[in-house]
Copies of this chain bind each other. A is one copy, B any other.
Amino acid sequence: MSQPLKFYFDFLNQSSRALYIFLEASKIPFEAIPISMLKGEHLTGEFRDKVNRFRKLPAITDHGYQLSENTAIFRHLAREKLVPEHWYPRRHLGRSRIDEYLAWHQSNMGVACTEYFQQKWLVPYLQKTRPSDNAVNVAGKQLEHTLNDFEQLFLNSRKFMMGDNISYADLSAICEIDQPKSIGFSAFKNRNKLARWYDSVREELGPHYKSVYEEFEAKLKLNNQGQQGVAQAQAL
């Protein structure tokens, strides 16, 4: 019997959410295996030894073949599974334009959103301290700059980044922007084009996006409460 696709993920991680939504929306059968990054489950045991030598999420095994890196997994699925064309269209060189965005995303959007999320939420969570105002400020300024670039370089008068149809570029971008947005960053202030695009993408993704985003928010809230419990206990 052939082994099903196994998908290892944590909804606190933006690329895990993007690929999970992509798998669901594309109706690709898969076994969902949640891994807790906050507990360090991606660093040890069976995951490290048998699933992902990079010790990173998301990851897949497909017929026993192990693969890491969000964009590599996306391209693998687009090649090996039945995937609706609009996610990675061949027509009018759309695929090249999406590759261009995904490369820009990795070095710019991904770095800026991750840094803000780490300074404001993850580092304080792991170290049980308050965020450093200075580090959050620096990360926030870089993020403002990157969101301006994103709006200017990639958004236009059309509904989605590549035109009338949603693609994996939109899905990657919305999940990344949700990292800082979910912890209070005002991404849309003075950015009407970004706000319009964000609403279009969210609406198009519908319940697939909604349920994943709600689970992400619930995880943040749950861990915030744990954090406050620790702070209160320390204050007693």
Contacts and interface: CB of A to CB of B under 8 A. Distances in A.
Interface stretch (A40-48, A102-110, A135-143, A173-181): A102-110
A183 interface: no
Interface stretch (A25-33, A64-72, A118-126, A157-165): A64-72
Contacts of A69: 99-100, 103-104
Report copies per complex: 2
Nearest to A106: B106
A104 B67 CA distance: 12
A71 B153 contact: no
Interface in A45-63: 53-54
Given A67-B100, A100-B68, A54 B95 contact: no
A79 B67 contact: no
A76 interface: yes
B96 A76 contact: yes
Contact of A99 (B54, B71, B153): B71
22 contacts: A65-B93, A67-B96, A67-B97, A67-B100, A68-B100, A69-B99, A69-B100, A69-B103, A69-B104, A70-B103, A71-B99, A71-B103, A72-B96, A72-B102, A75-B95, A76-B93, A76-B96, A76-B99, A79-B96, A103-B106, A106-B107, A107-B107
6 nearest A-B residue pairs (beta carbon): A69-B103, A72-B99, A72-B100, A76-B96, A69-B100, A75-B99
Interface of A: 53-54, 65, 67-72, 75-76, 79-80, 93, 95-97, 99-100, 102-104, 106-107, 153
